[in-house]
């Protein structure tokens, strides 16, 4: 298996690397449930969270992941960074890299921001925490961990992703992950919110939500990304959107008993998901949040164990370090 130097997108990951991260994350779920939520694995490591776009789950879970593994964690947001004074992303990146962090986690409105920085900031590892409408790899790894908990294995399963596919980095990362991990994706959206030629990813397309439900093992609801919509007329009204593409109890009743409900958050209750569905027993939405901390611990461990994050040497210490680190975690 190739060592993980950065986590930029699902596109860059191989099947074995995804599997390895899932294996690392699984035992880490328990750490957050202990009375003392602390393990020494990342002691002496420095992690910088650089968030230029708002976030509750992703930013908090990266911060908790680093702190629970004893790393030093610094948070920088758009409002407190020098980009407000006109500094470029590259200069901000170089400045932070000069302070010798081991990992730089970045969320940005611009697609490709993490990839761009990764080219310049060696030896720090760069993690993409969401870049525009492009990719959100740690969300999808978290989803896979949650689905693995529900089913044992995702391969051969069908995940139906519903809503604003056009602007969703989560949907794009799932399309890439489905090819690596052998699951099937159905996409449901109004035509105005489906990207052109998305079927090239090998997914099935639906504009009728009811028709897509039978045979779905998971219904994955997406928020309409108002911040990325260029025009306000992608659908007639919120009420009509909910009627056609919202998940309510009637629709959930069309699904099999085993079908689970996911949402990456933040939810717009009454728009893409009805409140009773969001809070029902088949909803795994809070499991996704809980598992997000474990998956981000796994990612940080794998990166810091790769021998690159924070080491000036590019050789040696790669293979087996992540597993070794896992041994000392718990
Ligand atoms: N939290 C997810 C993301 O950052 C989904 C969303 O914002 O709607 O892409």
| Ligand 1 atom with least separation from CA of 170 | 9
As to burial, measured by CB atoms within 10 angstroms (0-12 exposed, 13-18 middle, 19+ buried), residue 209 is: buried
Nearest protein CA to atom 2 of ligand 1, as residue? 264
Q: What is the separation of C-alpha 242 from the centre of its chain, rounded to a whole number of angstroms?
A: 25
- Cβ atoms of 292 and 60 within 8 Å: the answer is no
Could you tell me the pLDDT band of residue 82, with boundaries at 50, 70 and 90?
confident
pLDDT at residue 313, rounded to an integer: 38
Nearest protein CA to atom 4 of ligand 1, as residue? 130
pLDDT reading at 325 higher than 70? no
pLDDT at residue 226, rounded to an integer: 77
Q: Which residue has the higher pLDDT, 299 or 313?
A: 299
pLDDT reading at 321 higher than 70? no
pLDDT for 28-43, tens place per residue? 999 999 999 999 999 9
pLDDT for 87-141, tens place per residue? 999 999 999 999 999 999 999 999 999 999 999 988 999 999 999 999 999 999 9
156: Cβ–Cβ under 8 A, 6 or more apart, which residues? Answer: 182, 183, 184
pLDDT for 224-234, tens place per residue? 887 776 665 67
pLDDT for 166-223, tens place per residue? 999 999 999 999 999 999 999 999 999 999 999 999 999 999 999 999 999 999 999 9
Q: Which residue has the higher pLDDT, 292 or 119?
A: 292
Ranges of H-type helices in 152-205:
169-181
The fraction of the chain above a pLDDT of 70, given in percent, is 91
pLDDT at residue 233, rounded to an integer: 66
Residues contacting ligand 1 via CB (< 6 Å): 130, 136, 139, 169-170, 223, 264-265
What angle do the packed helices 285-304 and 137-151 form, to 10 degrees?
120
pLDDT at residue 282, rounded to an integer: 98
Out of 113, 170, 193, mutate this one to test ligand 1's pocket (max ligand atoms within 8 Å of CB): namely 170
pLDDT reading at 306 higher than 80? no
pLDDT at residue 149, rounded to an integer: 96
User: pTM of the predicted model, to two decimals?
Assistant: 0.92
Give 98 Cα–ligand 1 centroid separation in angstroms: 30
Tell me which residue of 3, 68, 62, 64 sits closest to 31, measured CA to CA: 68
Mean pLDDT of the chain: 91
What angle do the packed helices 137-151 and 57-68 form, to 10 degrees?
80
Give 314 Cα–ligand 1 centroid separation in angstroms: 34
Nearest protein CA to atom 8 of ligand 1, as residue? 223
Give 136 Cα–ligand 1 centroid separation in angstroms: 8
Tell me which residue of 76, 30, 109, 121 sits closest to 303, measured CA to CA: 121
* Total length of the chain: 330
- CA torsion 328→21→169→96, rounded to 10°? 40
Handedness of CA 309, 89, 130, 265 (dihedral sign): positive
pLDDT at residue 232, rounded to an integer: 59
């Amino acid at each position: 298996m190739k060592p993980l130097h950065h986590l930029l997108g699902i596109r860059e990951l191989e099947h074995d690397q995804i599997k390895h991260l899932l294996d690392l994350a699984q035992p880490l779920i328990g750490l957050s449930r202990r009375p003392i939520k602390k393990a020494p694995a990342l002691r002496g490591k420095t992690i910088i969270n650089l968030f230029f776009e708002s976030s509750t789950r992703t930013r908090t879970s990266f911060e908790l992941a680093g702190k629970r593994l004893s790393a030093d964690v610094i948070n920088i947001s758009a409002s407190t960074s020098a980009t407000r004074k006109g500094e470029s992303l590259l200069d901000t990146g170089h400045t932070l890299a000069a302070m010798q962090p081991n990992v730089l986690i970045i969320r940005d409105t611009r697609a490709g921001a993490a990839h761009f920085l990764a080219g310049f900031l060696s030896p720090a590892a760069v993690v993409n925490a969401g870049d525009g409408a492009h990719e959100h790899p740690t969300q999808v790894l978290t989803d896979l961990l949650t689905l693995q908990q529900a089913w044992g294995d995702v391969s051969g399963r069908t995940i139906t992703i519903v809503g604003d596919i056009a602007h969703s980095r989560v949907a794009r990362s799932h399309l890439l992950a489905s090819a690596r991990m052998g699951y099937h994706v159905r996409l449901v959206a109004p035509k105005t919110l489906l990207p052109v030629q998305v079927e090239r990813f090998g997914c099935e397309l639906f504009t009728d939500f009811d028709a897509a439900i039978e045979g779905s093992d998971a219904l994955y609801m997406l928020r309409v990304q108002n911040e990325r919509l260029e025009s306000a007329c992608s659908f007639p009204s919120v009420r009509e959107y909910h009627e056609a593409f919202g998940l309510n109890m009637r629709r959930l009743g069309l699904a099999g008993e085993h079908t689970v409900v996911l949402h990456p958050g933040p939810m717009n209750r009454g728009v893409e998901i009805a409140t009773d569905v969001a809070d029902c027993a088949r909803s795994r939405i809070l499991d996704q949040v809980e598992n997000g901390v474990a998956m981000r611990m796994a990612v940080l461990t794998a990166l810091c164990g790769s021998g690159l994050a924070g080491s000036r040497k590019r050789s040696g210490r790669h293979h087996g370090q992540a597993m070794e680190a896992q041994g000392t975690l718990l």
